[in-house]
Structure 1
Amino acid sequence: MKMDGKPKLFLIAFFVVFILSVLIAAPSISSAEKVVKIYSSVDENQIGINQTLTLSVTIETKNISKVLEPSIPDISPFKVVSKNSSTSTEISFINGKTSRVKKYRYKYTLKPGKIGKFLISPISVTYKGKEYKTDPIVITVTEKNIEREYITDEGLKIDPIQLKKEIFVKAKINKQTAYVGEQLSLRYEIFSTHEIEQISIISMPKMEGFYRIDIENPSRLKYNNLYSKGKNYKHSVIKKLVLYPLYPGNFNISPIETKVTALIRNREFPNLFALPYTLILKTPELAVKVIPLPEYNGKYSFTGIVGKLQVDVAQHSKSIYQGESSRFYITVKSNGNLNNIKDIHFSHPENCKIILSDIYNDKKLLNGTYYFSKKFEYTIIPEKNGKLVVKAEKLLYFDTDKKSYVSLNIKPLYFDVNPVPTSENINTETEKTTVEDKDIKSKYKNLLFIVISSFSILTAILVYLLFKTKKSNFRNHEINKNKSETNENLRNIRLLMAEAESKLLNDNVAEASSLIKRAITYALSARLGISSGKVTIKNIEKSNLDEALKEELKNSLSILNKIIYSPEKEDLIKNKGLLSVNIEKFESLIKRLEDDSFSQ
């Protein structure tokens, strides 16, 4: 095929232009642009000391395949509590060129170590010897938490300030002015318009200047509905306490701090989902003024009871045998601090012994006031027959209604002490009967005498058998009674030791010691097979226990008595240390006695 000159010239021109285009574009294809950028930011520039912040670092690279990581400078006083990272890639085609952009995102959760204003220095990344840096960041850490409204990942709006108007705790006290020793009732309550998932007490006030008794500390709260100021609240009591001021002055009861987790729901779709949200809530401080008691110049010793006081007396039996034991009870009831009464003092003849064998405690709520009762069980052992009168000293207390001191009489106890029947008395009666029989035989030698004599002998036999049966039943009753008491005591020992540990944690050292002493007495009574009221040092020495165990028992009871009757205010720390050091020894001693009881 033959071409003319013009078409041939056109083809030559086209190839020349194409080759020149390739030569010009080749350098840009072989050397694509490579870019490195680094950014940093924080979610909050001001936080509280108990809050955290998130530091975000983003490294952006273009046409670089190497993975780059940031170099974090010293960020003291912040501590990294968690870290995570993610990567994304974007590929684009522009003017026939392929461009690949990678983004490396690093997130650090930081917790501050102290309060103040701090600088996070520039964060850097290095590529092929060149360093790239971010701008520095200033963070302010305050003592109080910074609360701001925010939106969760689920799209739920959270306003902490508004939430604290809808969920809050209160402290309520029945009076803000009281005498030294007068009962104060303190309760902590929670109110919430939201469902509460969990609540815990982070810190309790120390209650300095007050003697404290825990009344109620529920493990599961019971809520009731309460309408107030146009809103429906779920309401529950968190804790109840009774306080007794120890000395006069002005006191501030510091706040209780609680951690509350509530379920926050979307108001538009309340049944769709609920988000757990945790708040730290505190009660306001409570101011209490404590006034001194008026001066007392009377002859009686003040018990320390302020309020109301009542005493009841009961005795097991009015008629007892010489040398044998019996029990009587004195029950003290008051809204005052009964911990001040350790024992009742008696004025009684020297020919009898009175021993405090047990103490029973109870409490009752009446018209918003807690009344405590303390039942003292005493064992009395008369050493001489005849009439015995036991008188207790008067109890002096301060009546807050009358605003004056009152002395309370305790009803005397009367006992008829009889001599124990002896074999000599029985023989004397037998001889008299024999003489009478002989006289009768000498007077009546007929059938009538035989009939009467036979009837007399038969009657005597029946009376003897009846007396023997009654005595046997009485002994069996006493044995069964002792067994029943032993089983009951063994069941109560663990409860007493657990309560003692609780009292020790609350610095009620004397009460803890009394409970441990009761537990040892119960265990010993089960081992010896006698009632707890008959457990004395004298009976321990007479028992068949080995000598080492006897010494350990006497030593333990001596330590406990020393703590119980020592001045608690002066020796609290010393006694608490003494009791804490020996508590394992006491538990081991009780276990040995229990094991011996079960093996018998």
Structure 2
Amino acid sequence: MNHFFTKFIALFLFVVHTNIVQSQTKFIATITPSNAAINEYVTLKLTVENGENITQIIPPNLSEFDVVSGPNQETAVNNVNGIVSQYVSLSYILQPKKAGNFIIGNATAVVSQKKYKSNSLKLVVSNKKVPNNSTVNQSPFAAFDMFDEPTPQKQYEDYVLQKGETIPEKVNKNMQLKLQTNKNTCFVGEPIVATYKLYTRLKSESSLTKNPGFNGFSVIDIAQQFNQNPNTHETLNGREYNVYIIRKAQLYPLQPGDIELESASLDNKITFVKNNNGNAEAFEENVTLQSKPMIIHVKPLPEFGKPNNFSGSVGKFEIDAVLEKNIITTDETGKLIITILGTGNLQLLTSPTVEWPNNFEPFETKSVDNLNVNNVPLSGSKSFEIPFSVIDTGLHIIPPILFSYFDIVSSTYKTIATKPISINIVKAVASKITKPDIKAYKKTFIEKWSTTILFAVLLFLVLMSLIFFNKKTKNKIGKKNIELNEAVIAKKNILPSLLHEKNYLLKTEQCLANNNCNKGYELLSTEFKQFLVEKFNTPDEMFSLEMIELSMKEVFVENAKIQQTLYLLKEIEQKLYMPIDKNEGLVKLYNETKSLILSLS
């Protein structure tokens, strides 16, 4: 019997361990290639695996690189042999600014209100340049990095070097690399179009050796649409040129201020002809052209009239929301699909807040983009699919879902809303089998605690075996348990008075007293959560909105106070990760939080 019991425990632990490993959240950083030449591109990828409610991914310091493209987002859910895994990744295409050995530091991801650090990375960049044909393969803009022009669409005679003319003089007069934009001033989130063009009247083979970086912008490249006809004709300073588009992108500023668009560099092998004793002699000359950088003045969005639920959306939008099914059973997973259509910074939109009815449990949101990247601003739609479960039968109403954006044309904020959505929940038939999609998404409170319950059962079995084989040990354990219970009771009796005396928002108050309070929301979030953890005896590592709501209901806190608590947690968290002024509305939220703490103490 003893041998059987030992084998049972070993098998039990193996199953529990396997369950934990399969669902563990991971944050991984990779870079390819890890050894590169100075003129090569590398791809940095930041991936969160098996993470729920990913609210932010912060890249490492990339000041040693030009950000050629990114962040580009990818989301997927995989189901292999019944094991569900999901990941969200951001990728950046980078070009090193110099040779050397680089350590790329940790990135940070915020998953279910918990911070994760990625691994650091090593990158070796050599001074040796790869050949031009290799560079093209590495470049994300290969179709534009090299173009052979032995016979341009329009021939000019400027390649003939006349007597007394110099090569620098010929190049300066007949070949220019220029950066052009459709505007030099814009709002945060309003796109500008940057185009790098080669104007030439000479015969050349050219390759892009320095791709411009766009730090401070979200980048959408649109130059691919010129693949079939890269050559056009334009007049510059009264002279006609063959014109080639090297790169064209729409850039969405992420922050206000003066931001520099970097220069591009182009290596050119130019063919000249000169008269040598009555004979035409051709020769080649290598010349590097560089465009001039440009400053873009980015204006902050106005504070006047900014809605509380504004999250940085700029453009013109419409919103719609539908249910996958309007009637579901209590053992089914429903799905709410919110779709935002229009033009603007669609790639940066986040899911609007949904005021779920009581006893609705939403799960991780999946976003689906359907964008026309050649339109400026971006046009198309972005959908947010939110699975959910319900345990209460009857007719329920999901209130209108609000979405606010800044309209560039009218320079005003606008708020739009969906219609209320009704859903009927019916009791499941006892014999009904759970649908497969529930396996992928549904994690009820009991399932989330399954590992803890299993360990508790295991601990109980071990304790009972010790009691059975050693009565003396049982007596000692009983005595210690009595002492422990008395200590716990004493602690609970003291706790209320300590809560009353302690100022849980002390650090937030000190920050507000300082004119330069940069971490106000971060401090308010940390201190408010600490109060709730201590007040309702919630394990810090298991803190979540669902856990707090359940803990408050267990001690019969009024529903109005529970809803106020959840509202404040969501508001503070939303402000914390918004790409806007970090201290907007901080005093108001601080006062509301302080009043709530006093009422709960």
User: When the two structures are superposed, what TM-score results if normalisation uses the length of structure 1?
Assistant: 0.42
Determine which structure has more spread, i.e. the larger CA radius of gyration. Answer: 1
By relative contact order (CA 8 Å, sep 6+), the higher-ranking structure is 2
